[in-house]
Amino acid sequence: MPMSEIVPSWREHVRVLYDADTIAERVATLGREITRDFAGGEPCFIGILKGSFVFFADLVRAVDLPLSCDFIGISSYGNDTESSGVVQITRDLGASIEGKDVLVVEDIIDTGLTMRYLLDNLATRRPNRIKVCTLLHKPANTRTQVPIDYLGFEIPNAFVVGYGLDYASRYRNLPFIGVYHGPT
């Protein structure tokens, strides 16, 4: 068996959903769309930690505009495979967003509850406008509608890891997005 076909044991519970090339192509397209829509401005990109950090890094490099970056930490999963619905801010923004055009960058919108909480929270900080970019959306789990202005991929109701997404703090470093089907 060629070395490229050998799957390390820690990856054996993950089936590839989107490979690295497919993700890179989609991120480039999103970057062009965001560049067009925010042309003439200097948007503030807010990455939601921890899951969006890989997507965030690739996306900001795909946008041809002067922009600023900040991060907010939010958790609703803990070490589980389903959102608890209880949102916790684990790290707040480092600067004011008052009067700014804001793009919230998320890894996945599942139930919509976490994003709804965040958008309501950010709105109290009086930005000029807020738009949402998410790498993944799982519409089958939607419990509350949230605006998605830029979408990478719509996915089935499955637990996914890789490209920044994790299960119990593992699998973030996979270069692809895969469905996790291992022990929980």
| Residues known to be catalytic | 110
Closest CA to 165 of 30, 12, 54: 54
Is the distance from CB of 180 to CB of 161 less than 8 angstroms? yes
Is the distance from CB of 39 to CB of 98 less than 8 angstroms? no
Phi, psi of 3 (to 5 degrees): -55, -35
Q: What Cα–Cα distance (Å) separates residue 120 from each residue in 62, 66, 144?
A: 28, 26, 13
Exposed, middle or buried: residue 120 (CB in 10 Å: 0-12, 13-18, 19+)?
exposed
Task: Give bridge partners of residue 75 from the DSSP assignment.
Answer: 88
Is the distance from CB of 14 to CB of 171 less than 8 angstroms? yes
Which single residue is written with the structure tokens 């608890």? 84
